[in-house]
Amino acid sequence: MIATHLPILQVVIPLMAAPLCLLLRRPRLCWALSLAVSVIALVIALLLLGRALSEGPISYALGNWSPPWGIEYRVDVVNAFMLIIIAAIGTIVQIFAPRSISHEILPSQHTLFYTLYLLFLSGLLGVTITGDTFNVYVFLEISALSTYALIALGRDRRALTAAFRYLVLGSIGATFILIGIGLMYMMTGTLNMADMAQRLQPMLDSRTALAALAFLGVGLTLKLALFPLHIWLPDAYTYAPTVVTVLMGVVTKVWIYVFLRFAFTIWGQEFVFTEMHLQDLLVPLSLIGMLAASTAAIFQRNVKRMLAYSSVAQIGYMMLGVSFVSQTGLSGTIVHLFNHALLQAALFMALGAMLLRVGSPLLDDLRGIGRQMPWTMAAFVLGGLGLIGVPLTVGFISKWYFILAALEKGWWLVASLILLTSLLAVIYIWRVVEVAYFQQPDPNTTPVKEAPLSMQLPIWVLIMSILFFGISTKWTAGLAERAAAWLFGGGP
């Protein structure tokens, strides 16, 4: 009985828990609730993936209104994989959160944090699971509004301006998406993705189609922070509390998924990338993004901002993988969605643990941290190696796919630029390593202790996953290849 309603439960449980959390008021209880909800969401996501793998796509008619008239939730391999990423990172973050926010968020706002987190979770899960375009917009705004508020929880006042700037740009992006969806609705008279995909095909020549694609393209790339529309990201990542930064890393990935959904499932890759020449636009933008953001990361004094720029570069990787328009490239993108989620979470969390003890993310204040917090710093180094793409970490798997995809196309320059970016990653990661291990801490500061177990545990779970999924890729690369084949088949 319950099994048939899993798709809706995936979204509704966090949505319902949010007001409940506000009623509970006590931060400890709220934490228990949001942790429980995250775990439930993860379990549901895993069950959904199992069913999607064994039985094919699951279609769920909301309120029993049959699609295409009612809202349909649709789970296939692609978004089941995405749901797992969201719920898994959410769970890990919740384990990490209590100690981290005790330092980074005012105590009076802890309840608010958990409430907003639950709304955020439900928004992202909703965007991913839904098969209805307007529903995408609604959940987009649920997650976006809670993200703005979450960023503003940061104790630095610059968090406020960062949140405001993100709000303005995010709203522009969302409205563009809304316009795009409206135009598509005008052409097809339907909001259901599968239905829309069929009805759209004969009308692709029209000017309306062109306008719709343009609005959607700009809106989505703004949301997923592709260079040069990434300008909101570094500030938001830097000044948000660490836990929020980790969560925001998932947001851009969800938008990459939505981009895939629109480009491959609804519009069809042939039209988007070849006829509309989006490939010619996205390849250079992704490459410039990778190079420029990696270079910018090298010159940051604030490690958090450095990681933020690195995230922009990784988004470049993922969009590059998409714009190869090949199964290999797409598999690379999908597997990197998962791999980078792990890497980014591990790195930001390790930095968060240092923030708890040192109180500053500036490079100068992390001198000698390798001796004072050996485990945390070791985790940071391992995560950094993953970011560089060293073999036996997940980063290598992604890199392999991207290079292979470039060579399949015969794009030697692109392949060498991918490799160049990973060398740039060596530089910015090694700046931190050298400061942490080669320099002496400021003698005027008191030595700091190792981070508490409640922080070490989630960090090392992530690090172990980074290594495990770098060695055994049956469940990541294997699934990503299936998902890519599925998207390429145009299956709704």
Partner 1 sequence: MSEFPGLLNYWLVIVMMMTGFYAMISRNNLIKKVIGLSIFQGAVYLFYITAGKVFAGTAPILEEGFSNYSNPLPHVLILTAIVVGIATVAVALALIMRIKDAYGTVEEDEIQHQDKIR
Partner 2 sequence: MAVRGWAVNPSVSLLVAILLPLFAAPLIALLGRRPNLREAVTLTTGGLLFLNALALVGPLLDGQRPALVLAEILPGLSLVFELEPLGLLFALLASGLWIITSLYAIGYMRGHHERNQTRFYVFFALAISAVQGVALAGNLLTLFIFYELLTFTTYPLVTHHRTPEAQRRGRIYLGMLLGTSFFFLLLAIVLTWQLTGTLDFRSGGILTGKADGLLLGVLLALYAFGIGKAALMPFHRWLPAAMVAPTPVSALLHAVAVVKAGVFAILKVVVYVFGLDLLNETDINTWLIYVAGGTMIIASLVALTQDNLKARLAYSTIGQLSYIVMGAALANGWGVLGGGLHIVAHALAKITLFFCAGAIMVTLHKTEVSQMRGIGRQMPLTMGAFFIASVSIIGLPPTGGAWSKWFLILGGLETGHYVAVGILVLSSLLSIGYLIPIVINAFFFPAQDNGGLKEAPTLSVIALTLTALGCLVLFLYPGPLLTLLRLMGVF
122-130, 133-141, 288-296, 466-474 -> range binding partner 2 (CB under 8 A): 466-474
Q: CA 176 to CA 174: how far, in whole Å?
A: 5
Q: Which two three-digit tokens encode residue 4? A: 């048939």
Question: Which residue in 43, 33, 35, 36 sits closest to 10, CA to CA?
Answer: 43
Pick one of partner 2, partner 1, none as the site partner of residue 20 (Cβ within 5 to 8 A by kind): none
Binding mask 169-208 for partner 1 (x = CB under 8 A): --xx--x--xx--x--xx----------------------
Half-sphere exposure of 367 (CA within 13 A, CB side): 10
Q: Which two three-digit tokens encode residue 147? A: 């993200």
Q: Which residue has the tokens 């405001």?
A: 164
Q: CA 237 to CA 128: how far, in whole Å?
A: 22
Question: Which of 473, 484, 486, 487 touches partner 2 (CB under 8 A)?
Answer: 473
52-60, 131-139, 245-253, 478-486 -> range binding partner 1 (CB under 8 A): 131-139
**Interaction between residue 375 and partner 1 (CB under 8 A):** no
Give 3-state DSSP helix, strand, coil % of the chain, rounded to 5: 80, 5, 15
Beta carbon of residue 472, minimum distance to partner 2 (angstroms, whole number): 5
Question: Which of 185, 400, 411, 475 touches partner 2 (CB under 8 A)?
Answer: 400
Q: What is the end-to-end Cα distance of the chain in Å, rounded?
A: 25
What residues does 72 pair with on adjacent strands?
61
How big is the chain, counted in residues? 492
Beta carbon of residue 265, minimum distance to partner 1 (angstroms, whole number): 21
Q: CA 346 to CA 118: how far, in whole Å?
A: 21
Question: Which of 8, 12, 40, 160 touches partner 1 (CB under 8 A)?
Answer: 160
> Looking at beta carbons only, is 114 or 148 nearer to partner 1?
148
> Looking at beta carbons only, is 178 or 435 nearer to partner 1?
178
**Interaction between residue 145 and partner 1 (CB under 8 A):** yes
**Interaction between residue 117 and partner 1 (CB under 8 A):** no
Residues whose CB falls within 8 Å of the CB of residue 433, separated by 6 or more in sequence, listed in order = 370, 381, 384
CA angle 57–62–68, rounded 5-degree value:
70
> How many residues sit close enough to partner 1 to count as binding (CB under 8 A)?
24
Question: Which residue in 329, 303, 317, 192 sits closest to 237, CA to CA?
Answer: 303
Please compute Rg for the chain using Cα positions. 21
**Interaction between residue 411 and partner 2 (CB under 8 A):** no
**Interaction between residue 53 and partner 2 (CB under 8 A):** no
**Interaction between residue 8 and partner 2 (CB under 8 A):** no
Beta carbon of residue 481, minimum distance to partner 2 (angstroms, whole number): 6
32-40, 166-174, 218-226, 267-275 -> range binding partner 1 (CB under 8 A): 166-174
C-alpha 145, offset from chain centre: 16
Q: Which residue has the tokens 């509970």?
A: 24
Question: In the structure, how many helices (H) and strands (E) does the chain have?
Answer: 20, 2
Is 26 exposed, middle or buried, given 0-12, 13-18 or 19+ CB atoms closer than 10 A? exposed
Question: Which of 164, 299, 412, 438 touches partner 1 (CB under 8 A)?
Answer: 164
Interactions with partner 2, residue window 417-446 (CB under 8 A)? 419-420, 422-423, 426, 430, 434, 437-438
87-95, 215-223, 252-260, 397-405 -> range binding partner 2 (CB under 8 A): 397-405
178-186, 187-195, 341-349, 403-411 -> range binding partner 2 (CB under 8 A): 403-411
**Interaction between residue 364 and partner 2 (CB under 8 A):** no
- Assess contact for 117 and 153: CB atoms under 8 A: no
> How many residues sit close enough to partner 2 to count as binding (CB under 8 A)?
31
Q: What is the per-residue DSSP string for 351-382?
A: HHHHHHHH---BGGGGTTHHHHSHHHHHHHHH
Q: CA 121 to CA 88: how far, in whole Å?
A: 11
**Interaction between residue 231 and partner 2 (CB under 8 A):** no
51-59, 119-127, 164-172, 418-426 -> range binding partner 1 (CB under 8 A): 164-172
Is 172 exposed, middle or buried, given 0-12, 13-18 or 19+ CB atoms closer than 10 A? middle
Pick one of partner 1, partner 2, none as the site partner of residue 489 (Cβ within 5 to 8 A by kind): none
> Looking at beta carbons only, is 83 or 118 nearer to partner 1?
118
**Interaction between residue 214 and partner 1 (CB under 8 A):** no
Beta carbon of residue 193, minimum distance to partner 2 (angstroms, whole number): 29
Q: CA 45 to CA 67: how far, in whole Å?
A: 22
**Interaction between residue 416 and partner 2 (CB under 8 A):** yes
**Interaction between residue 298 and partner 2 (CB under 8 A):** no
**Interaction between residue 475 and partner 2 (CB under 8 A):** no
> Which helix or strand (DSSP H or E) is residue 73 part of?
strand 72-75
**Interaction between residue 138 and partner 1 (CB under 8 A):** yes
> Looking at beta carbons only, is 139 or 267 nearer to partner 1?
139
> Which helix or strand (DSSP H or E) is residue 58 part of?
strand 58-61
> Looking at beta carbons only, is 182 or 284 nearer to partner 1?
182
Residues whose CB falls within 8 Å of the CB of residue 147, separated by 6 or more in sequence, listed in order = 120, 166, 170, 244, 247, 248, 251
Binding site for partner 2 (CB under 8 A): 385, 389-392, 397, 399-400, 403-404, 407-408, 415-416, 419-420, 422-423, 426, 430, 434, 437-438, 470-474, 477-478, 481
Chain positions contacting partner 1, by CB under 8 A: 134, 137-138, 141, 145, 148-149, 152, 157-158, 160-161, 163-164, 167-168, 171-172, 175, 178-179, 182, 185-186
